[in-house]
Each structure stands twice: as C-alpha cells, then as structure tokens.
Amino acid sequence: MEYEAVIGLEVHVQLNTRSKMFTRVGTGFGQPPNTLTDPVVLGLPGALPVMNRDAIEKSIKVGLLLGCKIAEVCKWDRKNYFYPDMPKNYQISQFDQPICEGGKVEIEMPGENPAKMGSHRMVELTRIHLEEDVGKLTHYEQDSLVDYNRAGSPLLEIVSEPDMHSPEEVFAYLTSLRNSLVAAGISACDMEKGQLRCDANISVRPKGTTTLGTKVEIKNLNTISGVRNGVEYEIRRQVRAIEEGTEIIQETRRWNPEQKYTTPMRTKEMAHDYRYFPDPDLMPVKIDEAWIERVAKELPEKPFDKQRRYQKDMNLPYSATSSLCGDHLLCAYFEEATDLAKSATKTANWVVNDLLRELSQANKVDEFSEESDKVMTPQSCPVSPQNLAELINLIEDGKLTNNVAKELFPEMFTSGKTVSDLIKEKGLDQKSDNGEIEGICADAIANDSDAAEKFRGGKEGAINALKGAVMKATRGQANPKVVDETLRRLLS
C-alpha cells in the first residue's frame, strides 16, 4: 500500500526591533547572560507592559506580504504555564483574535533539469499571531541554566495548514518564507541564533484517502536542512509502524540531529492546558485601512516576482536568477552594476560565479576567531558595482579579454584596486594596433603551416590553433576580434 504524508509547520520568527515586545529594554544576540532584562521581562510585582508599535507594523507587513487578512481588532491573551523559561509564569500571546488570518506562501519544487525552473504552487496558511519570546534553557549533565536575554523579544508565529506532503516541499516552504522575510527587513532569520525556529506536525494516511492520520509534532529542528531530515525520518517511522501494526501515538518528539532519529518527549495526555484568558493590562489593537495602506507602500518586491522579472525583462537564464533572487543584498548589488554595465547577462554571470566565489572564500573564517561574526556582504566587499561594471564594459568594448579579466578579478577583490589600475600596473592594455597584430599573426601562420593548410582546405576549427598562438605571444592582450579578422585575411 502507498502512503501519503500530511505536514503542517509552525514557524517562529524573531522580529528585528530595537526593543522588546512590551518593554523598552533592548534586543540582541551574544550579550552576557541575563543582561537584557528589566522588571517587565522578569515579571516583578507592579511592572506593566507597553506595546511595541514597530513590532505590530512589522507583523502587518508580513501579513500583507503573504496575502493574509489583517484583523481590524486583535487582542492579547495570557498563555499560562509554569516553566523556568518564563519567570512570570505566563506568556503574552494571541489566542482567538490573531493579527493575521489566512495567507499563502509560494514555493518552487525543483524540476528534473536543475537549469530550468520547477513547478510553483501556493501553501495555505492558517494564521499569524504576535507574542513575546521566552528565555533559553541550556541543559547540562546535572544542571540546567536559563538566560532571559531572549525573553520578551517580539516573536511572530506563522502557522501553515496541513498542506505539504514531502520533505522537499517543507524545505522549499521554509526557504521561500525565509527569503521573503529577510528581503522585507522583518528578521535576519538566522536559525543558529534562534531568530527562526520551526516545529513540524506530521501524519501519514493511505494515498487517495482524505481522513487525517494521528498527528506527531517534532521539535528541536535547528536548521532548514534539519527540518527536512527530521520530517523525512518521521514519515518513514510512521509508515513502518503502520505496516507492522503498531499504534501511532499522538505525541511530541525530539529530533536528534547527530543520530538522525526522533525520540518521545511527551504524549497528548501530558500536554499543557494553557487556560488562555485576555490580558487585563493590555488594550486590544485597532488597525484601520490608513495604517494598512501606509505599511503596504513599504513592501518590497517578492523574490519570485523579482526572479520572473529578471527572466522576462533581462532575458536572464533560470540558473542565474535562482542564485540571485535568494539573496536580496546580492540582487541590490546586481541591479546597481547592471545600470552601468552594457550586458545584464554577463553581469549576472560575473556576480553569481566570480563574486560569490570570492565572497565564499572571504567568509571562511575560524568560528572561534574574533572575525567570525564579521560576514562580508556584496555591499561591503572590495569590488564595488561600479568596478565590476567597468570590467564588463572593457570586455564588451574589446579592450580586455575574458581570460585576462578572470585573472584580474581575484586581485581586484583582495586589493580593492580597480581594473584600470591593475591594467596600468601590469601593462595589460589590449593590443588593437593592426600593424603589430598582423606581424604576430603572420609569424603564427609561418610557424604552424599544418594548421594553416587545414583551414585553407575547409577545416574551420583549425584556425583556433593559430588564434591560440597569437594570444600566447601577446600574453592574452590582443583584441580577439582583430586577431580573427587578420588571420582570415592573411590565410585567404
């Protein structure tokens, strides 16, 4: 019997606001433990919450970006539980009146040919609600320590419908969602820093049926690839259990990324009864059309829309646009260079091949070094968009060969010098003097009479040997177009 997986995700995104959700204390990562706290975060008597307007606006922006219905009124509820990660013993969240409802996330499934775009579809969303984050617990052999620096930070929970059916769709969903949120300036979405966290709900059923199977939730999914691997394992585990006649229990399981399997955490019987009730210290939030319209003006172009525009308006291949459009900073660099360069296609090729290669090498630093957090971006790298455009235009104008440009680019990247500076330093000005090139071409023909006779006999490819000899003699500085025209004239 064939089985089908049914998967829904709960994605928690930490908003990049300057202060926390209900207090002015700052947010941040990597600070000494328990230094980003105050009486509100610690739940001290008499401390009252005050809403963060920026967090609400960013939530509206996410809702508009994903096609949600923005609530006219949303309210705050207390989610009550006793656990060390929240000292006041409740979390301020949204229960029955969330800020956003519905919505969709566009995903792309990989095609059979990696160089061509795959099929696209929409994954349905249930809701998006805003809440405060909790502290971080670190467990040791004998003790557990808690750090409240993260507690109280604005946290957006994006809940999908059970609308995915494979690990590949889960991976595509998270990648698409992350790219959209980063491009919109909502969050850095760094899973290693806890800025994006994910829980997966998985069940399986016989293919062709519509009744949902018993749901299992997986936690401790700390990377996008880890989510895919955890989902893939859990699907296999549930199918194997059904085939062996073992009952699947509704439970929460923990993913072990090292051993690559899930283990039980708690069953439904052990689940919390959070006893939600409206927070008495916070008023509901009213969101009018004027507020929504103002936020809508700040929306960026969606990554997939940008990719389609690049392919249609610039005639760029899918392979280039797929590398560009997953990184909004790379797109900004590319567009600035394209405005100055004579070829959008060649600009894209240089960006996704040469620039990305050098950036990757530059960012390979020891994780324990002081430089480990100083990631070089396209905007901060030594080759500016103007410098790259100059390089491409010299090639297009026939003043620099592609091979010489490839040799110069790494030095441009490490030194910060322009291509013009390096050409002057190295004496690499391209030779376009017809008289000088004609003499070198004549020597090449005399030194390789066999290739010359083959070309005269109709073998077109034989001229390449002569071109190679000329380029070698000129250290790659001869204008290829002039060389080709001169050789053909002399050979005829």
Q: For the chain, which residues make up each domain, given as ranges? A: 3-292, 301-426, 434-491
Q: What is the pLDDT of residue 471?
A: 85
Taking CA atoms, 287 is separated from 134, 283, 284, 292, in Å, by 26, 13, 10, 7
Q: What is the pLDDT of residue 325?
A: 94
- Asked if 55 and 130 count as a contact pair (C-beta separation under 8 A), the reply is yes
The Cβ of residue 123 has, within 10 Å, a number of other Cβ atoms equal to 22
Q: What is the pLDDT of residue 429?
A: 63
Q: What is the pLDDT of residue 109?
A: 86
- Asked if 98 and 68 count as a contact pair (C-beta separation under 8 A), the reply is no
Q: What is the pLDDT of residue 64?
A: 98
The token pair at 194 is 């806890």
The Cβ of residue 212 has, within 10 Å, a number of other Cβ atoms equal to 11
Q: Are strands 251-256 and 216-221 parallel, antiparallel or unpaired?
A: parallel
Q: What is the pLDDT of residue 365?
A: 55
Q: What is the pLDDT of residue 20?
A: 98
Q: What is the pLDDT of residue 18?
A: 96
pLDDT along the chain (492 residues), means of 10: 96 97 95 96 95 98 98 97 92 98 94 78 98 93 94 98 96 97 96 94 95 94 94 97 94 93 81 87 97 96 96 95 94 97 97 96 62 77 97 90 91 94 79 77 92 91 91 80 89 86
Alpha carbon distance 105, 174 (integer Å): 9
Q: Kindly report the backbone phi and psi dihedral angles of residue 375, in degrees, each rounded to the nearest multiple of 5, phi listed first.
A: -80, 130
CA-nearest of 8, 9, 11 to 196 is: 11
Q: Is 125 helix (H, G, I), strand (E, B) or coil?
A: strand
Strand intervals (E) in 61-215: 69-70, 73-74, 77-80, 90-93, 100-101, 104-108, 120-132, 136-139, 144-147, 154-160, 196-206
Q: What is the pLDDT of residue 432?
A: 59
Specify which residues 196 forms β-bridges with: 13
Alpha carbon distance 16, 236 (integer Å): 37
Q: Is 93 helix (H, G, I), strand (E, B) or coil?
A: strand
Alpha carbon distance 25, 44 (integer Å): 15
Total number of residues shown for the chain: 492
Q: What is the pLDDT of residue 366?
A: 46
pTM beyond cutoff 0.85: yes
Relative orientation angle of helices 480-491 and 463-473, to the nearest 10 degrees:
130
CATH T-level assignment (fold) for domain 434-491: Arc Repressor Mutant, subunit A (1.10.10)
Q: Kindly report the backbone phi and psi dihedral angles of residue 131, in degrees, each rounded to the nearest multiple of 5, phi listed first.
A: -155, 180
Alpha carbon distance 36, 312 (integer Å): 48
